[in-house]
C-alpha cells in the first residue's frame, strides 16, 4: 500500500514539475504579444519603403522630409490601430522572411519594429513583424498606400467640377479636381526664376481658389490661396477657416501630366492674346 502511495506521489510530483517547466518554457510570443501591441500603439515614426518618413508631431502625423506637411491622419491612425489590434493575436513566424515592402516603426521609447509585407493595390492581409530575434505573423485587413504621396490627403482640393461657378485661366474640361494629386509639399519659395501662370476658380458655395502655377522644364508646382466671395455660404466660411493651414504658405509638386495640361491651356491663351495684339 505504501509503495503505491509513493508511486502516486512521485507521479503527481513529476506532473507538477512538467507543468512548471511548461509554464516557464512557454513560447515567447505569448508573453511578447501585449508588449508588441504596446510598441505599435506608442509609434511616433514610420520609415516607409525608404521613400517617406512619417513622424508624429504635436499629435499630428506629418512628413518629415516635406517640412512636416500633414499626412492623411485618419488613414495613418487607422493603420496603427489595426496593426496594434492584430499584434494581440500575433503568431510566431519562423519561416523564410518575405515581403517586397517594408516599414520601420519607431516608438517614443526608442524601440524598433520592422514590418514586411506585399502590397496588393493598397492593402494586404498579412504583415511579418520583426522585433530583435523574434518574428511575428500579423493577420488583418491593412490599408497601406502603394506610393509615398498617397499617404497625403488626396486629391489636393476635395471638390467636384460640378461645384465650379466660374473658372479663369483654364477650360473646365481641362481642369479636374479629382485628378489634382500632388507628390510633395514645401513651405519655402524657390520659384522666383520659374515661369508663372494664374488660375482662379469660384465655387458655387462662395469659396474662391487662387492658384499660381509654376513651370520649369517638365516640373510643375502650384501655390494655393483660399478666400471667399463677399457673401459666401456658412459652409464656405467654415471650410476656409478650418482648412486654410493646409494651403497657406505651401507649394505643391503636381504630377507632370496634370501640370502640363493646365500649363498648355495658359500657354495657348497667352499666344492667342499675343497674336490678337499684333493684328
Residue that is last in its domain, among 101, 129, 150: 150
Grid coordinates representing 119 are: 502590397
Domain-located, residue 5 = no
Across 8-28, average pLDDT: 40
pLDDT digits (tens, 9 = 90+) for 26-66: 344 444 578 899 999 999 999 999 889 999 999 999 999 99
Hey, what's the torsion of the CAs at 12, 14, 15, 21, to 10 degrees? 150
Into how many domains does the chain fold?
2
Grid coordinates representing 120 are: 496588393
pLDDT computed for residue 268 by the predictor: 52
Across 254-271, average pLDDT: 77
**Is 250 found in the same domain as 158?**
yes
pLDDT computed for residue 142 by the predictor: 96
CA distance 207 to 36: 46
**Is 253 found in the same domain as 173?**
yes
Q: Say yes or no to pLDDT of 108 above 90.
A: yes
CA distance 246 to 198: 20
Domain-located, residue 146 = yes
Domain-located, residue 167 = yes
To the question of pTM greater than 0.75 for the whole model, the response is: yes
**Is 221 found in the same domain as 146?**
no
pLDDT computed for residue 20 by the predictor: 34
Q: Give the angle subtended at the CA of 125 by the CAs of 121 and 126, to the nearest 5°.
A: 115
Domain interval for residue 132? 27-150
Contacts of 61 (CB under 8 A, 6+ apart): 54, 55, 70, 71, 73, 76, 77
pLDDT computed for residue 14 by the predictor: 45
Amino acid at each position: 500500500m505504501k509503495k503505491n502511495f509513493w508511486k502516486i506521489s512521485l507521479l503527481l510530483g513529476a506532473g507538477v514539475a512538467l507543468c512548471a517547466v511548461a509554464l516557464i518554457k512557454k513560447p515567447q510570443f505569448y508573453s511578447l504579444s501585449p508588449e508588441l501591441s504596446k510598441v505599435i500603439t506608442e509609434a511616433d515614426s514610420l520609415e516607409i519603403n525608404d521613400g517617406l518618413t512619417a513622424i508624429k508631431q504635436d499629435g499630428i502625423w506629418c512628413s518629415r522630409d516635406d517640412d512636416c506637411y500633414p499626412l492623411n491622419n485618419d488613414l495613418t491612425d487607422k493603420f496603427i490601430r489595426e496593426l496594434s489590434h492584430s499584434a494581440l493575436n500575433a503568431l510566431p513566424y519562423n519561416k523564410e522572411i518575405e515581403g517586397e515592402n517594408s516599414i520601420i516603426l519607431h516608438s517614443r521609447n526608442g524601440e524598433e519594429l520592422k514590418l514586411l509585407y506585399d502590397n496588393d493595390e493598397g492593402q494586404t492581409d498579412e504583415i511579418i513583424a520583426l522585433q530583435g530575434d523574434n518574428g511575428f505573423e500579423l493577420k488583418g485587413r491593412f490599408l497601406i498606400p502603394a506610393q509615398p504621396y498617397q499617404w497625403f490627403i488626396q486629391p489636393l482640393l476635395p471638390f467636384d467640377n460640378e461645384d465650379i461657378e466660374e473658372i479663369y485661366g483654364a477650360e473646365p474640361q481641362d481642369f479636374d479636381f479629382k485628378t489634382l494629386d500632388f507628390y510633395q509639399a514645401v513651405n519655402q519659395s524657390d520659384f522666383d526664376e520659374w515661369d508663372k501662370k494664374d488660375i482662379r476658380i469660384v465655387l458655387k458655395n462662395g469659396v474662391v481658389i487662387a492658384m499660381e502655377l509654376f513651370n520649369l522644364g517638365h516640373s510643375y508646382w502650384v501655390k494655393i490661396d483660399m478666400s471667399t466671395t463677399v457673401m459666401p455660404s456658412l459652409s464656405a466660411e467654415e471650410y476656409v477657416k478650418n482648412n486654410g493651414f493646409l494651403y497657406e504658405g505651401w507649394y505643391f509638386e503636381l504630377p507632370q501630366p496634370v501640370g502640363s495640361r493646365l500649363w498648355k491651356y495658359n500657354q495657348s491663351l497667352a499666344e492667342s492674346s499675343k497674336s490678337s495684339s499684333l493684328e
